[in-house]
Amino acid sequence: MRILITAGPTREFFDTVRFISNPSSGRMGFALAHAARRRGHQVVLIAGPVDLQPPGGVETISVVSAEQMFRASLKAFTNCDAAIMTAAVCDYRPASVLAHKLKKRAAPRIVKLLPTRDIAAHLGGIKRDRVIVGFAMEDQNARRHAETKRRKKNCDAMVLNGFANIGSTRATVEILRADGRWSKPVSGTKLQIANRVVKLVEELSTRARLTNRGA
């Protein structure tokens, strides 16, 4: 298969040097790219700003903003059989970007924010028989919000991530399938979890092809 994987954070600048972002390390996405490549798949890795070396044999596209990741993902997905959306994409971006560094002043400043485009939801709307696995980072009502995200984004599965996983080489996740079944908590190194997620993508892709063939 040819698999699209998004990883890392995005940065949304409001002047030439300052931006909105998040602490995503990109380790889960890079582990997925490594696991998928090791299992014989072609991989397109679209990564935000991270301090990681891409796995060998993986096509890597570096981006900064949510809009850049959206455009790169849409283009790459055209020739992919599946997508694993691990990137921590900023939900909002400044409405305007100053062409110079904003000078400090004593008075408060107001920055107008606009929503960014939802990459997973867009790909979910055009996927047809292709498979999409999403990642959800939640800090309250986690399962309920993950279930809502899976339906809204039309994902075949949703991996519920925890804040304790950020920046770590290990993680604990739960996996929600489209039929509403939840896995038990899965703990291990991010590479071990990545292997499990890639195997899930293989299983879901095989099932989708068989269903499509029998339709």
Which of 155, 210, 203, 201 is closest to 179 using CA atoms? 155
Encode pLDDT of 129-146 as tens digits: 999 999 999 889 999 999
From the candidates 22, 141, 161, 195, give the one annotated as an active-site residue.
Answer: 22
Query: In this predicted model, what pLDDT tens digit does every residue of 97-141 receive, in sequence order?
Result: 999 999 998 999 899 999 999 999 999 999 999 999 999 998 899
Res 127: pLDDT: 96
**Per-residue pLDDT at 163:** 87
Tokens of residue 34, six digits: 């490594």
Which of these, 179, 178, 142, 140, lies nearest to 160 by C-alpha position? 142
Could you tell me the pTM of the whole model?
Answer: 0.95
CB burial of residue 105 (10 Å; 0-12, 13-18, 19+) = exposed
Under a CB-based contact definition with an 8 Å cutoff, are residues 3 and 80 in contact?
yes
Residues 6 or more apart whose CB falls under 8 angstroms from that of 114 comprise 92, 93, 94, 95
Average pLDDT of the residues in 173-186: 96
Which pLDDT does position 83 carry in this prediction? 98
Is the predicted pLDDT of residue 214 greater than 70, yes or no?
no
**Spatial separation of the C-alpha atoms in residues 173 and 185, rounded to whole Å:** 6
**Could you read off the pLDDT of 181-207 as tens digits, one per residue?**
999 999 999 999 999 999 999 999 998
Structure tokens at 213: 């063939």
pLDDT for position 215: 54
Confidence of residue 209 (pLDDT cuts 50, 70, 90): confident
* DSSP label at residue 184: P
Distance CA 30, CA 8 (A): 9
Q: What is the mean pLDDT of residues 170-186?
A: 95
Q: pLDDT at residue 210 above 80?
A: no
User: CATH for 2-92+111-214, among 3.20.20.140, 1.10.3230.20, 3.40.50.10300, 2.30.42.10?
Assistant: 3.40.50.10300
The pLDDT value recorded for residue 164 is 87
Is 22 a catalytic site residue? yes
pLDDT at 32 over 90: yes
- Give me the chain's average pLDDT, please: 95
For residue 213, name the pLDDT band (cuts at 50, 70, 90): low
Q: Could you tell me the residue ranges of all domains in the chain?
A: 2-92+111-214
- Write the pLDDT tens digit of every residue in 41-83: 999 999 999 999 999 999 999 999 999 999 999 999 999 999 9
Which tokens is 180 given? Answer: 């509403």
